[in-house]
Structure 1
């Protein structure tokens, strides 16, 4: 296997032809020539079912995940497709402390239809009675926003023994940081709005897996539901993917530096980042993650302290996404997460580390009681 950087740059590339662009532009057509009756159909016939620009991105992302990839209009569209595929087959088990919209969809849309929805903390017991009659187990590791970690291989074994599929939301780790399919997961899901595209200018997601029949269901769910990404979004994400290896390296370095600063600063508490040797998640994360990520968390005294932090910083944007080239911070309680009012999810960007540390130190000084 070639290295991460090579696969990010070369993935999904077309065969070189003299005079052809090295990165072909998006195919914007919604309709394609069908030919005469009796002629063999081409790869594309209608824009909701397929597009050459999608396939280039899917080939690149699938190679990173180690499976077949289907891209969606958003990360939530990808999660929704997987939950709806599983819903008629049994109970759904998902993290009580993961992304809140995944729980909202399961409880608000599927539970009223009679689907049993079970919630388990990321560090809870993903085995035994909680898996009886389950059709799908959805993990999110590292979790968002808590940064807790679950042993994917252990949960995969338990889920399969109970007859359930295992899907892993890999958004926080990225395909370079973690390959859930190699650890026994049936599906890996991500919001590619975040680190994979990496520039805050597109919304999209994907599902990857290795079972052809299961992935056919995923692809069919996208076509039926119409949760398709635009060709321009696919093209932009494919362009952004080329620098994922470089961006992730700087983001992880910056995350470590900010985490170590927060650990030593009196204004911050409850600092979590799996790459820290003293983090409760470090031992499991070190076994299953290939590389560290750029997202950490820490807690300030209250929402007023968060306001002082954000007002003082000149490099950290107040934004609710993560994984981009610019550092950002998000007070998660404002979205309904069951966390302290001052908890910040911090997304380390690609600024010079010394500049970012100096900026965050000044912001933490201002946030101190």
Structure 2
């Protein structure tokens, strides 16, 4: 059975007369739990919930591949999922290798919290597989490819193999492509981490994240962290996510096709100094991306001459909603440097292609660029 068919049907209930096609949310804090609690599937909502179970099974199916079965754990946000990986794996004195251009909030978390608790950090670029030079003695290798927002690419299989030889656990922030667009576990990573607020659910209306693993002992550590820290997803959010995942193959294919067309168009425009998108043959990481990605993702970045040009572009656009985050069915864009924290130009724009008609998007982008002259 093909991937799209499996994903679309993964949200259905068991086939039984009288059962609804899709499960509803289960709202409960305690459950009836007489006797031995280890024999009861649900006891208390900070540990487990039937709606999570449905969602986690769907996510695990997407994360699984030929010859292995993944399991997934859902969290209240992508950052809660990141925190769970750091917290469950790292102890004072351990070394973590992180991309210097990883998602800004993940870097702040590592530098201002975990490093203050005795974790030793090594920050190195994503491009050119630079992390290979910093793995000796590491406990955790954190990879993000394509990186957000600079769209740098590294080789997950190559880095995972080297990290395992060095005795490190490998986690991949797979938010931008989603598990449908790129399969870190199949490429050798131990953990696949994502903010499912983005493309996985795609409607810009819920916060959630997940961690997928192959190793059951590692899963238990992540699960225990979630239960003890309480970074849990509400049943309504889990149900909304489950409802949304079924359309992932349709949404992702359309938004990635739109992103490719937009990147190719921007590359022809004199107002644009640089286009950063792994789907372009001119991208330095294109060969690696072509090897390890099914889709190049809905996100691209480009640079206009300065802050004023970028703000004029955003103000003049009628179809690019000026907002942070990405991966929704609506196209969005923002001048990313306004947040600080990333080493990027003032005219740097991160654009997330939605599912609108590409003809309309290109026409709108063209007129907005015209206004920057």
1:97 partnered with 2:92: no
CA distance in 2: counterparts of 1:295 and 1:7, whole angstroms: 25
TM-score scaled to structure 1, two decimals? 0.96
1:55 partnered with 2:59: no
CA distance in 2: counterparts of 1:247 and 1:12, whole angstroms: 16
Alignment of 1:212-251 (within 5 A): 212-251=216-255
What do residues 271-295 of structure 1 show as CA deviations (whole Å, max 9, x unaligned)?
0111112211110000111222111
Alignment of 1:196-207 (within 5 A): 196-207=200-211
1:68 matched residue in structure 2 = 71
1:22 partnered with 2:21: yes
CA distance in 2: counterparts of 1:17 and 1:206, whole angstroms: 29
1:33 partnered with 2:38: no
Quote how far apart the aligned CAs of 1:39 are: 8.5
Q: Per the alignment, in what secondary structure is the counterpart of residue 259 of structure 2?
A: helix
1:81 matched residue in structure 2 = 84
CA distance in 1: counterparts of 2:39 and 2:302, whole angstroms: 55
Q: 1:7–1:60: 8 Å Cα contact kept in structure 2? A: no
Alignment of 1:1-369 (within 5 A): 2-35=1-34, 37=35, 41-66=39-64, 67-88=70-91, 90-124=94-128, 125-128=130-133, 130-336=134-340, 337-368=342-373
Q: Per the alignment, in what secondary structure is the counterpart of residue 126 of structure 1?
A: helix
Question: Which deviates the most, 270-279 or 7-16?
Answer: 7-16
Root-mean-square deviation (Å) = 1.3
Q: Per the alignment, in what secondary structure is the counterpart of residue 185 of structure 2?
A: helix
What do residues 204-246 of structure 1 show as CA deviations (whole Å, max 9, x unaligned)?
0000010000011011111111000111111111111111101
Q: 1:12–1:58: 8 Å Cα contact kept in structure 2? A: no
What do residues 282-311 of structure 1 show as CA deviations (whole Å, max 9, x unaligned)?
100001112221111101122211221111
What do residues 180-217 of structure 1 show as CA deviations (whole Å, max 9, x unaligned)?
00110000000000000100000000000100000110
Distance 1:40 1:265, change over 3 A: closer
CA distance in 1: counterparts of 2:366 and 2:293, whole angstroms: 29
Quote how far apart the aligned CAs of 1:137 are: 0.4
Q: 2:82–2:106: 8 Å Cα contact kept in structure 1? A: yes
CA distance in 2: counterparts of 1:6 and 1:232, whole angstroms: 25
Q: 1:194–1:322: 8 Å Cα contact kept in structure 2? A: yes
Distance 1:38 1:261, change over 3 A: closer
Q: 2:271–2:304: 8 Å Cα contact kept in structure 1? A: yes
